[in-house]
Structure 1
């Protein structure tokens, strides 16, 4: 099977997202750039991820053209490929409709860094609303991520985590959803108290040096 390892990894992470509640049904998608190639493996459109086998995952070009696979690629393929074209250092993407991150997208509020594991990814900017599946949505996500962000929310839509590896994109989606929950509930309690800027910078520096937090 072409791109077997990449297909297996994408399906493994998609099922993990399903099991963790980050994705419900097929409302969300996962992709990974094939190492050394201008090819992306992405989850298909409308097929429950726990019913798939790796060979059924579509392979697409960096311009969202179907290259190989049994099923139609995700409708959000243009967003994934736009990010891969813009940021050559990003190789894995997890897009979710997780509840609390989506709440912040609807409020048009950044998700602040609330705890140490969120510091590589927060504050999380909001990309303005564009229709799902559109080229415009892809460009909005690219603009929100800029040159160095790895996570953004999509207004009234969900969350996009794009990282150097797919495992890290999964972790980012998980940490930011937890971070959004903490931010939301502390807002309801009357005081949202994010990490101080100097602490965020110190923790980021530690992480860059490979020190666990």
Structure 2
């Protein structure tokens, strides 16, 4: 089967998102750019991820054309492929509807860096609302990510993590959901106290270099 290794990785991460509660049912999607090709593998639409086999995952072009695969690609394919076109250094995308990140998107609030592991990805901007699956949503997400962000939230919708590797996109989605939960709970307790700006860049540099913090 063509692209078998990439298909296996996408399905592995999709099931992990399900197990971790980042995705509920099929409300979320995962993709990975095929190394060296203008092709991505993405989860299909409306098929439970824990019932899939790798060879059933669809392959799409970077212009969202369905190339092969048993099942129809996710309706959010335009958003994933728009990110790949805009940011050639990003090779894995995880889109979740995780609760606390989504709460911040509804509030139209950035998620601040609340703990050291979140500093490579926070503060997390909010992309304005557009209909799911639309080209407008795809462009809104690309603009929110800009030239150097790896995570944004989608207003009244969820979270988008796009990183150099799919494993890292999954990790970013986990860290930012935890970060959003801490931010929300401390806000409800009366004082949201993020990491000081002067320390964020130092921690970010350490994390990006793989130094434990």
Tell me which interval the TM-score lies in, with the shorter structure as reference length. Answer: over 0.9
1:144-182 CA-to-partner distances (Å, cap 9, x unmatched) read: 000000000000000000000000000000000000000
In structure 2, how many angstroms separate the alpha carbons of the residues matched to 1:101 and 1:171? 14
Q: Within 5 Å, give how 1:140-151 maps onto structure 2.
A: 140-151=140-151
Does the CA contact (< 8 Å) of 2:117 and 2:207 recur in 1? no
SS in 1 for 2:44: coil
1:198 aligns with 2:210: no
In structure 1, what is the equivalent of residue 18 of structure 2? 18
Give the equivalent residue in structure 1 for 2:56. 56
Q: Given the alignment of the two structures, is residue 106 of structure 1 paired with residue 99 of structure 2, yes or no?
A: no
Cα deviations across residues 55-101 of structure 1 (Å, max 9, x unaligned)? 00000000000111000000000000000000000000000000000
Residue pair 2:58, 2:69 contacting (<8 A) in 1 also: yes
Aligned residue number for residue 40 of structure 1: 40
Are 1:135 and 2:135 an aligned pair? yes
Q: Distance in 2 between matches of 1:145 and 1:79?
A: 12
C-alpha separation in 1, matches of 2:54 and 2:208: 33
What is the count of residue pairs matched by the alignment?
A: 213
Between 195-204 and 104-113, the greater mean CA deviation after superposition: 195-204
What does the per-residue CA deviation read over 1:108-158, in whole Å, with 9 as the maximum and x for residues that have no partner?
000000000000000000000000000000000000000000000000000
In structure 1, distance between residues paired with 2:51 and 2:76? 20
State the distance in 2 between where 1:75 and 1:207 align: 33
For residue 67 of structure 2, give the secondary structure of its aligned residue in structure 1.
strand
- For 2:80, the equivalent position in structure 1 comes to 80
Aligned to 1:118: 118
In 2, the alpha carbon distance for the partners of 1:208 and 1:135 equals 32
Partner of 1:164 in structure 2?
A: 164
1:155 aligns with 2:155: yes
CA distance in 2, matches of 1:194, 1:49: 35
| Unaligned ranges ≥5, structure 1 | none
How many Å apart are 1:205 and its aligned residue? 1.6
CA RMSD of aligned residues (A): 0.5
Measured after TM superposition, the shift of residue 209 of structure 1 is 2.7
Structure 1 residue 207: deviation in Å?
A: 2.0
Normalized against structure 2, the TM-score is what?
A: 0.99
How far is 1:210 from its partner?
2.4
Task: After the TM superposition, list the runs of 4 or more consecutive aligned residues in structure 1 that deviate by more than 6 angstroms.
Answer: none
